[in-house]
Amino acid sequence: MHPHRKDREHSPDERRRVKVSKYLSKHLRHQPERIGLVLDAHGWTEIDALLRATERNRFPVSREELDHVIGADEKKRFAIEGTRIRANQGHTVAVDLDLPPSEPPAYLYHGTVADRMPSIRAEGLRPMARHHVHLSSDRETATRVGARRGRPVVLGVDAGAMHRAGHVFHVSANGVWLTDAVPPEFLRLPA
Protein backbone atom coordinates (compact mmCIF):
# COMPACT_ATOMS: atom_id res chain seq x y z
CA MET A 1 0.00 0.00 0.00
CA HIS A 2 1.30 3.45 -0.85
CA PRO A 3 2.30 5.33 2.33
CA HIS A 4 0.18 8.39 1.45
CA ARG A 5 -3.02 6.50 0.79
CA LYS A 6 -5.51 5.59 3.45
CA ASP A 7 -5.15 2.00 4.53
CA ARG A 8 -8.51 0.39 3.93
CA GLU A 9 -9.86 -3.05 3.33
CA HIS A 10 -11.81 -3.60 0.15
CA SER A 11 -14.66 -6.08 -0.12
CA PRO A 12 -14.64 -8.52 -3.06
CA ASP A 13 -17.46 -6.45 -4.61
CA GLU A 14 -15.39 -3.26 -4.30
CA ARG A 15 -12.29 -4.94 -5.76
CA ARG A 16 -14.36 -6.19 -8.72
CA ARG A 17 -15.88 -2.72 -9.24
CA VAL A 18 -12.38 -1.18 -9.36
CA LYS A 19 -11.17 -3.89 -11.77
CA VAL A 20 -14.12 -3.31 -14.11
CA SER A 21 -13.63 0.47 -13.97
CA LYS A 22 -9.93 0.12 -14.86
CA TYR A 23 -10.82 -2.30 -17.67
CA LEU A 24 -13.35 0.19 -19.06
CA SER A 25 -10.84 3.05 -18.82
CA LYS A 26 -8.18 1.07 -20.63
CA HIS A 27 -10.46 0.11 -23.50
CA LEU A 28 -12.67 3.21 -23.81
CA ARG A 29 -9.77 5.67 -23.48
CA HIS A 30 -6.61 4.00 -24.72
CA GLN A 31 -6.86 0.62 -26.47
CA PRO A 32 -10.33 -0.11 -27.85
CA GLU A 33 -8.84 -2.17 -30.68
CA ARG A 34 -7.26 -4.56 -28.18
CA ILE A 35 -10.72 -6.06 -27.49
CA GLY A 36 -12.15 -5.39 -30.95
CA LEU A 37 -14.06 -2.21 -30.10
CA VAL A 38 -14.54 0.65 -32.51
CA LEU A 39 -15.11 4.14 -31.12
CA ASP A 40 -16.85 6.73 -33.26
CA ALA A 41 -15.31 10.16 -33.85
CA HIS A 42 -16.64 11.35 -30.47
CA GLY A 43 -15.50 8.33 -28.46
CA TRP A 44 -18.85 6.51 -28.32
CA THR A 45 -19.38 2.78 -28.80
CA GLU A 46 -22.49 0.65 -28.49
CA ILE A 47 -22.97 -0.85 -25.03
CA ASP A 48 -23.92 -4.22 -26.53
CA ALA A 49 -20.68 -4.23 -28.55
CA LEU A 50 -18.71 -3.47 -25.38
CA LEU A 51 -20.40 -6.26 -23.43
CA ARG A 52 -19.82 -8.76 -26.27
CA ALA A 53 -16.15 -7.68 -26.40
CA THR A 54 -15.72 -8.22 -22.65
CA GLU A 55 -17.19 -11.72 -23.02
CA ARG A 56 -14.98 -12.58 -26.03
CA ASN A 57 -11.91 -11.41 -24.15
CA ARG A 58 -12.56 -13.49 -21.02
CA PHE A 59 -13.54 -10.56 -18.81
CA PRO A 60 -17.34 -10.82 -18.91
CA VAL A 61 -19.31 -7.84 -17.61
CA SER A 62 -23.11 -7.91 -17.42
CA ARG A 63 -25.27 -4.88 -18.15
CA GLU A 64 -26.29 -4.78 -14.50
CA GLU A 65 -22.66 -4.78 -13.38
CA LEU A 66 -21.80 -2.10 -15.94
CA ASP A 67 -24.63 0.11 -14.67
CA HIS A 68 -23.52 -0.47 -11.06
CA VAL A 69 -19.87 0.39 -11.80
CA ILE A 70 -20.80 3.56 -13.67
CA GLY A 71 -23.36 4.61 -11.06
CA ALA A 72 -20.92 4.05 -8.17
CA ASP A 73 -18.03 5.90 -9.84
CA GLU A 74 -17.50 9.08 -7.81
CA LYS A 75 -15.38 10.62 -10.57
CA LYS A 76 -18.06 9.98 -13.22
CA ARG A 77 -15.46 8.74 -15.72
CA PHE A 78 -18.05 7.37 -18.16
CA ALA A 79 -21.22 8.57 -19.82
CA ILE A 80 -24.13 6.54 -21.15
CA GLU A 81 -26.38 8.08 -23.77
CA GLY A 82 -29.16 5.80 -24.96
CA THR A 83 -27.47 2.60 -26.16
CA ARG A 84 -23.96 4.10 -26.24
CA ILE A 85 -21.12 4.55 -23.75
CA ARG A 86 -17.90 6.58 -23.71
CA ALA A 87 -15.19 7.82 -21.37
CA ASN A 88 -15.72 11.46 -20.41
CA GLN A 89 -12.06 12.45 -20.88
CA GLY A 90 -8.50 11.14 -20.67
CA HIS A 91 -8.26 9.58 -24.12
CA THR A 92 -4.98 8.77 -25.80
CA VAL A 93 -6.80 7.62 -28.96
CA ALA A 94 -8.01 10.26 -31.38
CA VAL A 95 -11.50 11.39 -30.43
CA ASP A 96 -13.30 14.73 -30.47
CA LEU A 97 -15.41 14.93 -27.31
CA ASP A 98 -17.40 17.72 -28.98
CA LEU A 99 -17.22 19.90 -25.88
CA PRO A 100 -17.98 23.59 -26.41
CA PRO A 101 -15.46 26.17 -25.23
CA SER A 102 -16.23 27.31 -21.68
CA GLU A 103 -15.07 30.25 -19.61
CA PRO A 104 -13.10 28.81 -16.69
CA PRO A 105 -13.12 30.02 -13.11
CA ALA A 106 -10.32 32.44 -12.20
CA TYR A 107 -8.16 29.64 -10.78
CA LEU A 108 -7.91 25.93 -11.44
CA TYR A 109 -5.57 23.34 -9.94
CA HIS A 110 -3.35 20.52 -11.11
CA GLY A 111 -2.04 17.69 -8.96
CA THR A 112 1.38 16.22 -9.68
CA VAL A 113 4.45 14.92 -7.85
CA ALA A 114 7.79 16.55 -6.99
CA ASP A 115 9.90 14.66 -9.53
CA ARG A 116 7.90 16.25 -12.38
CA MET A 117 8.53 19.80 -11.16
CA PRO A 118 11.78 20.53 -13.07
CA SER A 119 10.14 19.94 -16.46
CA ILE A 120 6.94 21.72 -15.36
CA ARG A 121 8.94 24.78 -14.27
CA ALA A 122 10.67 24.85 -17.68
CA GLU A 123 7.82 23.86 -20.01
CA GLY A 124 4.58 24.30 -18.10
CA LEU A 125 1.92 21.60 -18.19
CA ARG A 126 1.69 19.52 -21.35
CA PRO A 127 -0.86 16.80 -22.15
CA MET A 128 1.82 14.14 -22.63
CA ALA A 129 0.06 11.07 -24.14
CA ARG A 130 -3.41 12.56 -23.60
CA HIS A 131 -5.15 15.13 -25.76
CA HIS A 132 -5.49 17.76 -23.03
CA VAL A 133 -4.09 18.88 -19.71
CA HIS A 134 -6.58 17.97 -16.96
CA LEU A 135 -7.36 20.58 -14.31
CA SER A 136 -9.53 20.51 -11.20
CA SER A 137 -11.76 23.24 -9.86
CA ASP A 138 -10.64 22.58 -6.26
CA ARG A 139 -7.43 21.84 -4.38
CA GLU A 140 -8.80 18.70 -2.74
CA THR A 141 -9.42 16.95 -6.07
CA ALA A 142 -6.00 18.02 -7.38
CA THR A 143 -4.42 16.66 -4.19
CA ARG A 144 -6.11 13.27 -4.71
CA VAL A 145 -4.95 13.21 -8.35
CA GLY A 146 -1.35 13.95 -7.40
CA ALA A 147 -1.43 11.41 -4.55
CA ARG A 148 -1.98 8.56 -7.03
CA ARG A 149 1.72 8.73 -7.90
CA GLY A 150 3.30 9.74 -4.59
CA ARG A 151 3.40 12.76 -2.33
CA PRO A 152 1.21 15.33 -4.08
CA VAL A 153 2.23 18.79 -5.22
CA VAL A 154 -0.70 21.06 -6.09
CA LEU A 155 -0.16 23.77 -8.68
CA GLY A 156 -2.42 26.75 -9.13
CA VAL A 157 -3.33 27.73 -12.67
CA ASP A 158 -4.32 31.32 -13.47
CA ALA A 159 -7.09 30.13 -15.78
CA GLY A 160 -8.73 33.54 -15.96
CA ALA A 161 -5.55 35.14 -17.32
CA MET A 162 -5.06 32.24 -19.72
CA HIS A 163 -8.61 32.66 -21.00
CA ARG A 164 -8.11 36.42 -21.47
CA ALA A 165 -4.89 35.62 -23.39
CA GLY A 166 -6.86 33.44 -25.83
CA HIS A 167 -6.36 29.94 -24.42
CA VAL A 168 -9.42 27.74 -24.88
CA PHE A 169 -10.93 25.67 -22.08
CA HIS A 170 -13.53 22.92 -22.12
CA VAL A 171 -15.27 21.22 -19.22
CA SER A 172 -16.06 17.52 -19.44
CA ALA A 173 -19.35 15.97 -18.36
CA ASN A 174 -17.78 15.04 -15.01
CA GLY A 175 -16.40 18.52 -14.27
CA VAL A 176 -12.77 18.08 -15.33
CA TRP A 177 -11.39 21.19 -17.02
CA LEU A 178 -9.41 20.57 -20.21
CA THR A 179 -6.99 22.79 -22.10
CA ASP A 180 -4.26 22.14 -24.66
CA ALA A 181 -1.35 23.20 -22.41
CA VAL A 182 -0.54 25.56 -19.54
CA PRO A 183 2.51 27.75 -20.23
CA PRO A 184 4.78 28.28 -17.20
CA GLU A 185 3.85 31.95 -16.82
CA PHE A 186 0.29 30.94 -15.85
CA LEU A 187 1.38 28.51 -13.12
CA ARG A 188 1.47 29.35 -9.43
CA LEU A 189 4.16 27.03 -8.12
CA PRO A 190 4.67 26.11 -4.48
CA ALA A 191 7.74 27.66 -2.85
Share of the chain above pLDDT 70, in %: 95
- Coil, strand, or helix at residue 162? helix
Is the Cα dihedral 62, 68, 71, 75 positive or negative?
negative
- The verdict on residue 117 lying in a domain is yes
Q: In terms of pLDDT, which residue wins out, 100 or 2?
A: 100
Residue 172 lies in a domain: yes
| Confidence category of residue 110, pLDDT binned at 50, 70, 90 | very high
- The CATH number of whichever domain residue 128 belongs to comes to 3.20.170.30
Last residue of a domain, one of 55, 87, 119: 87
**Contact (Cβ atoms closer than 8 angstroms) between residue 169 and residue 102:** yes
pLDDT at 130: 82
For residue 8, name the pLDDT band (cuts at 50, 70, 90). Answer: low
**Cβ-based neighbour number of residue 79 at 10 Å:** 17
Residues 79 and 134 in one domain: no
Q: CA dist 124 to 46, 121, 155, 180, 185, Å?
A: 37, 6, 11, 11, 8
96 in any annotated domain? no
pLDDT at 4: 42
Residue 33 lies in a domain: yes
Q: What is the mean pLDDT of the chain?
A: 92
Domain that holds residue 31: 12-87
Cβ(185)–Cβ(167) below 8 Å: no
pLDDT for the residue 3: 44
Domain count, the chain: 2
Cα–Cα distance for residue pair 181/15, rounded to 1 Å: 34
What tens digit of pLDDT does each residue of 16-73 get? 999 999 999 999 999 999 999 999 999 999 999 999 999 999 999 999 999 999 999 9
pLDDT at 2 over 80: no
pLDDT over threshold 50, residue 116? yes
124 within a domain of the structure (yes/no): yes
CATH of the domain at 23: 1.10.10.970
| 28 and 82 belong to one structural domain | yes
CA–CA distance, 26 with 34 (Å, rounded to integer): 9
85-96 pLDDT, tens per residue?
999 988 889 888
Domain end: 87, 122, 142, which one?
A: 87
Q: Do residue 17 and residue 67 come from a single domain?
A: yes
Kindly indicate the confidence band of residue 74, based on its pLDDT and cuts at 50, 70 and 90: confident
